[in-house]
A = this chain, B = another copy of it.
Amino acid sequence: MNKERNKINSIELDEKTRQFTSQCREAGLKITPQRVAIYRELIQTDEHPSAEMLYEKVKNIFPSISLDTVNRTLLTLNEIGAAFTVVGSGDAKRFDGGLHEHQHFRCLKCKRIVDFHHKPFDDIKLPANIRKKFKILRKTVYLEGICDLCI
């Protein structure tokens, strides 16, 4: 759980940046300094920033950047697969009466949430250090993708 565990060094950072710019070119996207800066800030942190958090960081480099640009850029990165959204769909909360043990699949297009139940997932074993460190209230296997109706 070392905070620095996933920090990348400057060589990796440059390498990743190069990969990113060619990924943009392939996707027909322009290489703007803002876009690059947002990407670089994103991959330099472990804290799974929100758009707002990244905005604060990138402002140190581009004081005039707007939060909207960060939001739009992150959307774009998501589309080309250069970034992922971790949790928090940005959509409304969805509730569950919790009657039956089950897992969820969420369609990224129509936002539908589909239950499925795969018994082995009910009792996946957590590593001891996690169980010791945190009070785990819920654990689940969570899938995202495109559902049969949206393909």
Chain B, residue nearest A100 (CB): B6
A45 to chain B, nearest CB (A): 8
Copies per assembly:
2
Kindly supply a per-residue 1/0 record for chain A positions 38-61, scoring 1 wherever the CB is within 8 Å of any chain B CB and 0 otherwise.
010011001111111010000000
Complex Cα gap A6–B100 (Å):
8
Chain B, residue nearest A139 (CB): B143
Kindly list chain B residues whose C-beta atoms are within 8 Å of the C-beta of A95: 42, 48-51, 54, 74, 77-78, 83-86
Query: Which among A1, A96, A130 has the greatest number of chain B C-beta atoms within 10 A?
Result: A96
Number of residues on chain A facing chain B (CB within 8 A) = 75
Cβ contact of A137, chosen from B90, B118, B146, cutoff 8 A: B146
Given A51-B93, A86-B113, A95-B49, CB of A145 within 8 Å of CB of B140: no
Complex Cα gap A138–B118 (Å):
17
Do B130 and A147 touch (CB < 8 A)?
Answer: no
Can you identify 17 A-B contacts, CB atoms within 8 angstroms? A1-B114, A42-B97, A49-B94, A74-B95, A83-B97, A86-B93, A86-B96, A87-B87, A88-B144, A89-B89, A89-B90, A89-B93, A116-B127, A118-B126, A133-B147, A137-B146, A141-B141
Chain A residues with a Cβ under 8 A of chain B: 1, 5-6, 8, 16, 39, 42-43, 46-52, 54, 74, 77-78, 81-100, 102, 104-108, 113-116, 118, 120-121, 124-127, 129-130, 133-148, 151
